[in-house]
Structure 1
Amino acid sequence: MADAVEHTYGIINFDLIKRWFKMEPGTDTAFWALNLMKYHEVAQYADGREGISGREADDAYAPLGPLAAVGAMVAYLGNVTQQPVGDPIWDRVGIVRYPSRSAFMAMQERDDFKAQHEHKKAGMEFTIILSCTPESHDPSIEPTGDLVLLISRGETDPFAGLAGLTQVANFDSEGCIIGDGRHFDRARFVRVDDDAALAGVVAAAEASEGAQVLVLRSAIDNLVESVVTA
């Protein structure tokens, strides 16, 4: 059996994990793991191999087999092209829908996943992974305008009611699975009509402590489908 996965790129939220273990099977339903990823410029492999970027190492990671084995679905993958608000500056965003939290935990114990994980460990400088559930979505949205991810915390949504935004999928977060101790309450995927609308988003984010605004270029976009078919 392969060694346990070592997470060098963030702090595990054991309080959240403990809550997961206490969940009744009937309440342990699908959740979406939203990954914010920042890469090493050069991958840090334990065997000293060189000439591989952190992004390339993460591309080699791609645990599609283990994900399929536990019934998970890649809901979204995209590069961050612009980040007007928030830190650190992220490189990529990925979302995986898991059928349950127990399925997520089971994947961590799979030998094929552990074998792939060396690439993630080498490539990832830091990550925050939010555990999310969908609040709303709109399957009729046409893919026009920039896709923007809005992350915030607090009782109210700082981006609610802004002009020039079309809601694509809204998620509530129960907490970060791994990160740096920060907490976020929601993640919103929207289409932004134009620069004026984006400026309104930036202004709202700057007035909201801890908010993040990420403009994305999509490589895989099954976001709405992942919610509709859950």
Structure 2
Amino acid sequence: EYADGRESSISGSEADDLYSPLDSLAAVGARPVLFGDVDQQLLGEDTVWDRIGVVKYPTRKSFIDMQALPTFKESHKHKDAGMASTIVMGTRPIAQPESPPGHVPVDWADVPHPPTDDDGPIVVVHVLRFHDAEAAHTTPTHMEQYQTEAAKVSLGHGLRLNGWFAVEGTIIGDGRAWHQVRFNEFPSKAAFMAVVTDPSSLAAQKDHREVAIADAYTMIVRAQVNILNDSITTP
């Protein structure tokens, strides 16, 4: 529903498609590096996530500058009409953990559940708040222990770390604070579900992950655009 009262028969997702402020982003030196629809939401029931996007800005100021552009203000009418709610976070990349000794990434051609036409690559997005209030840049010990045990299973199923980020602030949200957002890629949904249901993963989750995390959203995303990892490693 448009605030100016214009008649429209398009859906909310179609209105959001019209938003696409590429000209405004380019004007301030920014670019989209990940975009996709949520295939399944696994954790977090109070807010339903439909789409996830990541934009790389050259500076914090460039994000503020974009808000004043007439082209952005005009295109934002479509976003306001299409989205029931939005969460916007300002984040910075953080160092990713090394693979556990004796475990290395596996080529997707050699995993038990490789990508297919019916089940292609997915990105698993974790939005995390830890019990430790200072945990944005320093991952809690229990979470590190969970990561290590989970990686021993995940790497064999084709895990690729696209990017982990510390949350500097929630610009638009529901009042909750978040510490980290993580983007982990798998060759297929079947590959990720094999990790989720692995007994050692379940044990590590109970012993460490649940101890470390105060609140979380976890979504499986089918990415239409994903150059997230390259955007971190390339200026």
1:143-172 CA distance string (max 9 Å, x none): 765320111112324752213153221111
State whether residues 126 and 218 of structure 2, in contact with CA within 8 Å, keep that contact through their aligned partners in structure 1: yes
Equivalent position of 2:216 in the other structure: 211
> What SS does the corresponding residue of 1:66 show, helix, strand or coil?
helix
1:146 aligns with 2:122: yes
Would the aligned equivalents of 1:141 and 1:168 in 2 still touch at CA under 8 Å? no
- Structure 2 equivalent of residue 196 of structure 1: 194
| Distance in 2 separating the partners of 1:217 and 1:120 | 20
Contact 1:77 1:93 in 2 (8 A): yes
Relative to structure 1, is the Cα distance of residues 103 and 141 closer, same or farther in structure 2, using a 3 angstrom cutoff?
farther
- What secondary structure does 1:127 align onto? coil
Q: Which residue pairs with 1:77 in the alignment?
A: 35
2:230 matched residue in structure 1: 225
- Once residues 107 and 176 of structure 1 are traced to their aligned partners in structure 2, the CA distance between those partners, rounded to angstroms, is 17
After superposition, the Cα gap between the structure-2 partners of 1:141 and 1:104, relative to the gap in structure 1 and judged at 3 Å, is farther
Preserved CA contact (<8 Å) 1:78 1:220:
yes
Structure 2 residue corresponding to 1:174, chosen from 153, 168, 172: 168
| Aligned 1:146-165 pairs, distance under 5 A | 146-154=122-130, 155=135, 156=140, 157=143, 160-161=147-148, 162=150, 163-164=153-154
Per-residue Cα deviation, 1:65-123 (whole angstroms, up to 9, x for no partner): 01000000111001100111014110000000011111111110011111111111111
- Report if the CA contact (8 A) 2:164-2:183 is conserved: yes
Q: Which has the higher strand share?
A: 1
SS at structure 1 position matched to 2:166? strand
- Residue 142 to residue 131, structure 1, CA distance change in 2 (3 Å): farther
Q: Deviations over 1:200-229 (max 9, x none)?
A: 489567663211111010101110121122
RMSD (Å), alpha carbons: 2.6
Asked whether the 8 Å contact 1:149–1:189 carries over to 2, the reply is: yes
Q: 1:142 to 1:59 in 2, by over 3 A?
A: farther
Whole-Å separation in 2 of the counterparts to 1:61 and 1:91: 15
Q: What is the aligned partner in structure 2 of residue 27 from structure 1?
A: none
8 Å Cα contact 1:149/1:213 also seen in 2: yes
* 2:70 paired residue number: 111
Structure with the bigger percentage of helix: 2
Distance in structure 1 (CA, Å) of the matches to 2:192 and 2:79: 35
1:96 matched to which residue of 2?
A: 55
TM-score normalised according to structure 2 size: 0.71
Q: How many residues align?
A: 187
Distance in 2 of aligned mates of 1:135 and 1:203: 22
Report whether the alignment pairs 1:123 with 2:82.
Answer: yes
2:20 paired with 1:62: yes
SS at match of 2:214: coil
Is contact 2:122-2:223 (8 Å) kept? Answer: no
Going from structure 1 to structure 2, the CA distance change for 1:142 and 1:191 (only over 3 Å counts) comes to: farther
- Letter of the aligned partner of 1:150 in structure 2? H
Q: Residue 26 of structure 1 corresponds to which residue in structure 2? A: none
